[in-house]
Chains A and B, each alone.
Chain A
Amino acid sequence: MSALRLAVSMLDLTTLEGADTIGKVRQMCEKAKYPLREDSSLGPVAAVCVYPRMVRAAVQGVEGTSVRVAAVATQFPSGQMRLKERLAEVKYAVGEGADEIDMVISRGLFLQGQYRAVFDEIAACKQACGKAHLKVILETGELSTFDNVRYASDLAMAAGADFIKTSTGKVQPAATLAVTLVMLQAIEDFYERTGRMVGMKPAGGISNAKLALQYLVMVREVLGAKWLTNRWFRFGASSLANDLLMQIRKQETGCYQSGNYFTQD
């Protein structure tokens, strides 16, 4: 039960659609603040995650609460643009009020072997973030091999990432337990070497509570209890929220739940 509630506090509720509007974002913010209205002890989620144009609406939507606003930037999801425009996007989103930036690395450059360029881009984005936290999306599905994921993780952390994140959610496969393990091990080794903690966010493909708990077990056994807060671990998911709530309700009442009793934001 405590793991389920912890998982709720680690959610980054996300909407990244071409069809996003101010209204849609506002409704998601309501869900973010009060996941389950009947249960006031169940706190808000960690953050909402939106496109740069929607940041202002999101900031207004969660004002006065602990919910953070994360914006995807740097030509999400492909990253296929020059650095200049991608940095401008970061600055715009931060200017609109984003607390966190989720950037995408240039997978094309990485697969061309231009690691220095990938590193420099991440470092530049970190600088453009100012006070905002930088999550670096590796897009593990496109990197393809575990060796690539490990190397990209090490690169991102060395370049200043506050968080490393598996995927944009726009490409299959997205997050998997295996790829997450590789990234957690990278974080562990980085911490041993430098003493700096880096957060981790698996995104996409975590559709049910049971799977979410398996991720938490993995974090606990690889990195330890220190990482088990939303300061250092997030779930990038949308449908996971209601499954967590349904499982919490089921633990309390002993009955399996129906989706009809939980709000679709």
Chain B
Amino acid sequence: MDSNDFILGGYAKAPESIDHFSINSSYDLFIGGKWVKATQQFKTTNPANDQVIAEVGLAGKKEVNQAVKAARKAYESVWSKMPAADRGKYLFRIARLLQERARQFAVVESLDGGKPIRESRDVDVPLAAAHFFYHAGWADKLSYAFPGAKPKPIGVIGQNIPWNFPLLMAAWKIAPALACGNTVVLKPAETTPLTALMLAQLIEDADLPSGVVNIVTGAGETGQALVEHSGIDKIAFTGSTEVGKHIRKATAGSGKRYTLELGGKAANIIFEDAPINEAVEGIINGIFFNQGHVCCAGSRLFVQESIADQVLRKLKKRIGTLIVGDPLDKNTDIGAINSREQLDRIKSLVKIGKEEGAQLWQSDQRIPRKGNWFKPTLFTQCAQSHRIVQEEVFGPVLAIQTFRTPKEAIAKANNTPYGLSGGVWTDKGSKAFQMTSSLNAGVVWANTFNKFDPVSPFGGMQESGIGREGGLQGLRAYCNLEL
């Protein structure tokens, strides 16, 4: 028994099989129901090993214009005239097809973006399918969501999405837009175009009328061209607060509507009467889920001083059991950082954190040499003024502070220009509700964290954004209301 591998070593590799489907070596743009070759291409790589997966089209102003025109034509001649129940049926079809091909999408999401297969398989893809299913049902019921008003479509929507939940963000944008009678031009993030392109193939198989959904892959300029296009009636954007402000500038005075899902620096508050073991799991999930590439990540921990040592000890122990490695290995807990750029950004902020005087801790687990990786990291001895506490790192880095009273916790938690999410851990119900109603955040989790559901509205206050996605409230962004 002394030489038992299971006791001494790691777990045997459990690679997800990838041989049951194929990825194209190159993809075109999906415009007007056709695959249109772009004048330029660019490569998309696997951040876990820097290998090229495929080439995709780089849409320029010309192609963006084509796409907007196709969306407008589809809106005016087909989609706005279609009975609402039929719109719903198309969305149901997309949902069912996504459920059927779920595994392929999960694998490609992990390959292209770096997140562990367990997450893409168990969270991203099922939620994406659920979003389509949920919004399919709204298509012919919109009047019930707006008492006393007649909801009408807006028209053509331009949508820019980020690289942290590529397929899920596409679902969050496309499903409600179509349910409410709009057509879309969607620009996936530069580093993660593949699942959106697979979605386009799926949409073809669902026989969705041409031009209702258009996918234009590209980089920053493609997104800019879309935002600035005069043929767009509304912009939906998820990304950094900085870019969100640029978009506001670009749309100011144009009459375009907009919704913005931006950054966050959520406070996760642990009281002494919290269920400690559950709270530790919640902290871990809050900041290390998806490598911390989550706008609503619990990146600031506030732990009540009386239990701080205990919580820190348990946190470190638990982090030691996390496996950082190959995203396609089913044992992996933490995957690759999405890109070299993001890795550099995380590294530089962590360097600043050390220089500011915060105490850095990382566990000693091994990480792969090739590819983009960052170990789960804790900073203790943080002060409210530290940049590591104020700025969004968007990586597996947790800034820890202590507090003494609920009032202090609230004040510090709210002391930020952000306002996306927050967490509270306590066994006392009245305290939970007091805290949640005092936090300036669009989504507050009590005794849980990072929970998402298509029926539950998501979105931020203050500089975390404007508007909500999901739920009854999320429909407002995609309708014009006739009173």
Contacts and interface: CB of A to CB of B under 8 A. Distances in A.
A38 interface: no
Interface in A112-171: none
Given A6-B1, A185-B277, A228 B321 contact: no
B1 A225 contact: no
Interface in B1-42: 1, 4-8, 11
A27 interface: no
Contact of B321 (A2, A216, A221, A229): A221
A191 to B, nearest CB: 12
Main secondary structure of the interface of B (DSSP, over half): helix
Nearest to A217: B11
Main secondary structure of the interface of A (DSSP, over half): helix
B13 to A, nearest CB: 13
A174 to B, nearest CB: 22
B1 A3 contact: no
Contacts of A225: 7-8
Interface string A154-198: 000000000000000000000000000000010000001000000
Nearest to A184: B277
A56 interface: no
A210 B313 CA distance: 31
A2 B4 CA distance: 6
Interface size class of A (residues with CB under 8 A): 10 to 19
Contacts of A217: 11
A228 B277 contact: no
A6 B8 CA distance: 12
A111 to B, nearest CB: 21
Interface residues of B, number: 10
Nearest to B321: A221
Contact of B6 (A3, A192, A221): A3
A26 interface: no
Contacts of B6: 2-3, 6, 216, 220, 228
Contacts of A74: none
A221 to B, nearest CB: 4
Interface string B341-384: 00000000000000000000000000000000000000000000
A41 to B, nearest CB: 12
B340 to A, nearest CB: 32
A9 interface: yes
Contact of A6 (B7, B11, B277, B313): B7
B277 A2 contact: no
Nearest to A225: B7
A249 interface: no
A220 B7 CA distance: 8
A5 interface: yes
A258 B321 CA distance: 36
Contacts of B321: 221
Interface string B308-323: 0000010000000100
Contacts of A229: 1, 7
Contacts of A216: 6
Contacts of B11: 217
Interface in A1-37: 1-3, 5-6, 9
Task: Tell me which of B7, B11, B321 has the highest count of chain A C-beta atoms within 10 A of its own C-beta.
Answer: B7
Contacts of B313: 192
Nearest to A182: B277
Contacts of B8: 225
B236 to A, nearest CB: 40
B5 to A, nearest CB: 4
Contacts of A220: 6-7
Nearest to A221: B321
Interface string A219-263: 011000100110000000000000000000000000000000000
A216 B4 CA distance: 13
Interface in B205-228: none
Task: Tell me which of A2, A216, A221, A229 has the highest count of chain B C-beta atoms within 10 A of its own C-beta.
Answer: A2
A5 B4 contact: yes
Contacts of B5: 1-2
A154 to B, nearest CB: 13
A220 B11 CA distance: 11
A190 to B, nearest CB: 13
A196 to B, nearest CB: 18
23 contacts: A1-B5, A2-B4, A2-B5, A2-B6, A2-B7, A3-B6, A5-B4, A6-B1, A6-B6, A6-B7, A9-B1, A185-B277, A216-B6, A217-B11, A220-B6, A220-B7, A221-B321, A225-B7, A225-B8, A228-B4, A228-B6, A228-B7, A229-B7
Interface of B: 1, 4-8, 11, 277, 313, 321
CB-CB nearest 5 A-B residue pairs: A3-B6, A2-B5, A221-B321, A2-B6, A228-B7
Given A5-B4, A217-B11, A228-B4, 14 more contacts: A1-B5, A2-B6, A6-B7, A9-B1, A185-B277, A192-B313, A216-B6, A220-B7, A221-B321, A225-B8, A228-B6, A228-B7, A229-B1, A229-B7
